[in-house]
Amino acid sequence: MAADLDVVNLCIIAGGTLAIPILAFLASFLLWPSALIKVYYWYWRRTLGLQVGYADCGGYRFCYSYRGKPGMRPSILMLHGFSAHKDTWLTVVKYLPKHLHIMCVDMPGHEGTTRTNIDDYSIQGQVKRIHQFVETIRLNRKQFHLVGTGMGGNVAGVYAACYPSEICSMTLICPDGIRHPCETKFDNHVQDLEHSNYTLNIPLIPTTPEEMEDMFKLCSHVRFKIPQQILQGLVDVREPHNTFYQEVFMEIVGEKSRYALQDHLHLITTPLQVIWGKQDQVVDVSGAAVIAETLSECRVDLLENCGHSVVMERPSRTARLILEFIILQQNARSGTKKAT
């Protein structure tokens, strides 16, 4: 009889132990979805072997994640897009070899990187800050491969034009900053915003779960089924930063920044790869042809059934294309050295 009671007690204890994390998960999902999202990113970084670091320079702090150490292959620095963060790249990092030295930095004012009221968030201003980061961590002791998507692609291209000696090769993914000949759905939104003197809601700055879902539809060709609670969590995570995002948006669509990449194309000497989703509704894919006309030797990879969020929709393909290009350029340099 006593043995039977011990078994019952053991089952109760085991059941209670299992119930606690399950109930905690359900409570987080229903009541604090934003906390669950943060834990999710933390767990994913840990699973992929990424660590979070900080670089301080003159009272300004950069936050970044990293994996690996400098080796035979070039280090890779990844710049995310507007209103995103370093964890945007987790989907792509998952498919890159673990021995590669990879760094994903929070762009100026975003996530864990310092935000100030006096900072210049134009493309040129962000380029200066990213260069400050590169110098602070001494990444430019050896030439590195630079990757940028969206706004980060605009910054990456201008960076390559301003600091050509630091970069061995570069990948731009659906970059902003190009006068693309074909208008997109987002271009129409921007025109409406301009006509309203920017009193309408900005599609890339959602304030409700419904607007968040609309943003995903705008940025992705692939339709992701996201639960309402997760959409709410994403809104909750972003909401405290919306005023800042509006400030940055006004800077990057302003006269100084809107076509910054195109204005600097003629100065780019770095081997360049362009990856673009054919169904991009934010920055039209015709921008790839504009870049190729100016830089005839750049490699262009257009992805079928893919929108603006290439790193989310085609992470495996994106990682493979980036790695192929890095190896191709490294082999080309080795061949040139042998020939001389």
Give the β-pairing of 60-67 and 51-57. Answer: antiparallel
Average pLDDT for the chain:
89
Residue % of the chain over a pLDDT of 90 = 73
Q: What are the distances in angstroms from CA 318 to CA 34, 167, 171?
A: 28, 20, 10
Residue 274 pairs in a beta bridge with: 172, 300
Q: Where are the beta strands (DSSP E) in the chain?
A: 51-57, 60-67, 76-79, 102-105, 144-149, 167-173, 272-277, 299-303
Residue 276 pairs in a beta bridge with: 302
Q: In sequence order, what DSSP letters do the residues of 104-127 get, joined into one string? A: EEPPTTSTTS---TT---SHHHHH
pLDDT tens string 249-271: 999 999 899 999 999 999 999 99
The C-alpha atoms of residue 89 and residue 191 are separated, in whole angstroms, by 30
**pLDDT exceeds 70 at position 110:** yes
pLDDT band (50, 70, 90) for residue 20: very low
pLDDT band (50, 70, 90) for residue 15: very low
The C-alpha atoms of residue 63 and residue 38 are separated, in whole angstroms, by 15
| pTM (predicted TM-score) | 0.89
In 3D space, the residue among 137, 158, 174, 102 whose CA is nearest the CA of residue 326 turns out to be 102
Tokens coding 325:
């290009």
In 3D space, the residue among 209, 211, 241 whose CA is nearest the CA of residue 200 turns out to be 211
List the 60-67 sheet strands across, edge first. Answer: 51-57, 60-67, 102-105, 76-79, 144-149, 167-173, 272-277, 299-303
**pLDDT exceeds 80 at position 192:** yes
Q: What is the dihedral of CA 213, 216, 218, 220, to 10 degrees?
A: -150
For the segment 275-287, the average pLDDT, to the nearest whole number, is 97
Q: What is the dihedral of CA 308, 208, 107, 104, to 10 degrees?
A: -70
Give the β-pairing of 102-105 and 76-79. Answer: parallel
In 3D space, the residue among 156, 153, 157, 146 whose CA is nearest the CA of residue 329 turns out to be 146
Residue % of the chain over a pLDDT of 70 = 89
pLDDT of residue 194: 86
The C-alpha atoms of residue 76 and residue 74 are separated, in whole angstroms, by 6
Tokens coding 285:
């894919």
The C-alpha atoms of residue 36 and residue 54 are separated, in whole angstroms, by 24
In 3D space, the residue among 59, 53, 155 whose CA is nearest the CA of residue 116 turns out to be 59
The C-alpha atoms of residue 70 and residue 141 are separated, in whole angstroms, by 10
pLDDT tens string 59-81: 899 999 999 999 899 999 999 99
pLDDT tens string 201-235: 899 999 999 999 999 999 999 887 888 888 998 99
- At residue 301, the 3 state secondary structure works out as strand
pLDDT of residue 336: 63
